[in-house]
Amino acid sequence: MQFTGSHILSINQFEQQDVEYLFKVADAMQPYAQREKRTRVLDGAILGNLFFEPSTRTRVSFGCAFNLLGGHVRETTDIKTSSISKGESLYDTARVISGYSDVIAMRHPVAGSVEEFSRASRVPVINAGDGPSEHPSQALLDLYTIRKELGIQEPVASLRIAMVGDLKHGRTVHSLSKLLCLYRNIHFTLVSPRELCMPAEIVDYLRSKGHSVVETDNMQTGLNNNDTVYLTRIQEERFSNQSEADLYRGRFRLNQEIYTAHCKPNTVIMHPLPRDSRAEANELDNDLNQHPSLAIFRQTDNGVLIRMALFALTLGVAEEVHKHVEAVSWFTAKRFRNPPPIPT
């Protein structure tokens, strides 16, 4: 894959070697994300960060990733504050914003909208989530996290993963399952209410690539014997009415007791976040917060590395990052976690 100048719209664009290269670039971003050093490789570059749907992690981590490479971020959040609410087309918005930016990250509630936008853009566009369709940067950070958590240096093979929750509307599981398809012999256990099962075309695709897929609405058996359990939220914003979403909330929950009873020891616990912590949902209980296998906040940290790598690659500076390095002078979070001993 030619990264420089390319849009990143779907996992379908990637071959295994592209993912492996991207992960190497992400590894090299660690000292910058950890504030051990800083780079100005994108000094002067502008990211147009367009979020037409709610977001915390994706929006902020795309912005921080760009800042960590020395670039500047211009943000539009919410359709109400954009001229799209005055009837402007995606085509016109793309022509305008791509005239102001070097790269664009975009989230939009409609499947296919980011691709439509990219056709009118003069700069690379990264899909930060298009409705229920895809969320490629999330899938990349998820696979990167799975490898780190399981201590796998090589491409994954024979991984056993359970995906749990709203698999119909969850774009993260759509992208992650397609990404895992690039690897060998993956065992998918898809746990969902029948009405919210993984779309048939994705299941067929996984099977056509030789992977094993078990679909069930029984969480207890679904949790057995996996390396990773990937939980998801009921995507209430995709339902036509709230009461329909309420039918499914809280149906599948993971807590310490269920984990101990049904998961293999050390099963990695993942969730793209936000977890719905309201009592009626609570798909991932706080009583697992101190569990060493709970990877959710390492996932979010890894998101910065993956997004830095995507920017460095699409803007063609992945090999130049280290040529623009300076020391960090301020008190950093890392030093805060390991404070120097107090002199006596």
Residues that bind ligand ASP (CB under 6 A): 129, 135, 171-172, 232-233, 235, 272-273
Report the residue number, 171 or 307, with the smaller CB distance to ligand ASP. Answer: 171
Nearer of residues 211 and 233 to ligand ASP, judged by Cβ: 233
Residue closer to ligand ASP (CB basis): 145 or 232: 232
State how beta strands 325-327 and 46-51 pair: unpaired
User: In the complex, what is the shortest distance from the CB of residue 53 to ligand ASP, in angstroms, rounded to a whole number?
Assistant: 8
- Enumerate residues 6+ apart whose C-beta is below 8 A from 232: 163, 164, 165, 166, 167, 170, 172, 173, 271, 272, 283
CB 297 within 8 A of CB 286: no
Smallest gap from Cβ 137 to ligand ASP, in A, equals 10
Tokens coding 196: 């919210």
Comparison of 38 and 251: residue with beta carbon closer to ligand ASP:
251
Q: Do strands 72-77 and 46-51 pair parallel, antiparallel, or not at all (unpaired)?
A: parallel
Least distance between ligand ASP and beta carbon 322 (Å): 32
Instruction: Choose between 231 and 312: whose C-beta lies nearer to ligand ASP.
Output: 231
């420089």: which residue's tokens? 4
Least separation in angstroms between CB 233 and ligand ASP: 4
Residue 303 three-state SS:
helix
Q: Which residues of 190-212 are buried (b: 16+ CB within 10 A; e: fewer)?
A: bbbbeebbbeeebbebbeeeebe
CB of 171 to ligand ASP, least distance (A): 5
CB-based contacts of 96, cutoff 8 Å, min separation 6: none
Q: Which is nearer to ligand ASP, 10 or 232 (CB)?
A: 232
| Beta-bridge mates of residue 157 | 184
> In the complex with ligand ASP, which residue's Cβ is closer, 38 or 108?
108
Taking the complex as a whole, how short is the minimal distance between the CB of residue 113 and ligand ASP, in angstroms? Answer: 14
CB of 129 to ligand ASP, least distance (A): 5
CA 201/CA 198 separation, integer angstroms: 8
- Closest among 110, 111, 134, 138 to 274, alpha carbons compared: 138
Nearer to ligand ASP, 97 or 139 (CB): 139
Please say which residue, 7 or 233, places its beta carbon nearer to ligand ASP.
Answer: 233
Min dist. Cβ of residue 165 to ligand ASP (A): 9
Q: Which helix (H) or strand (E) holds 117?
A: helix 113-120
How many angstroms separate the CA atoms of 297 and 277, rounded?
A: 15
Burial per residue of 80-96, b for 16 or more beta-carbon CB atoms within 10 angstroms, e otherwise: eebebeeeeebeebbee
Is the C-alpha dihedral spanning 143, 146, 149, 153 positive or negative? Answer: negative
Q: How far is the CB of 251 from ligand ASP (least distance, A)?
A: 15
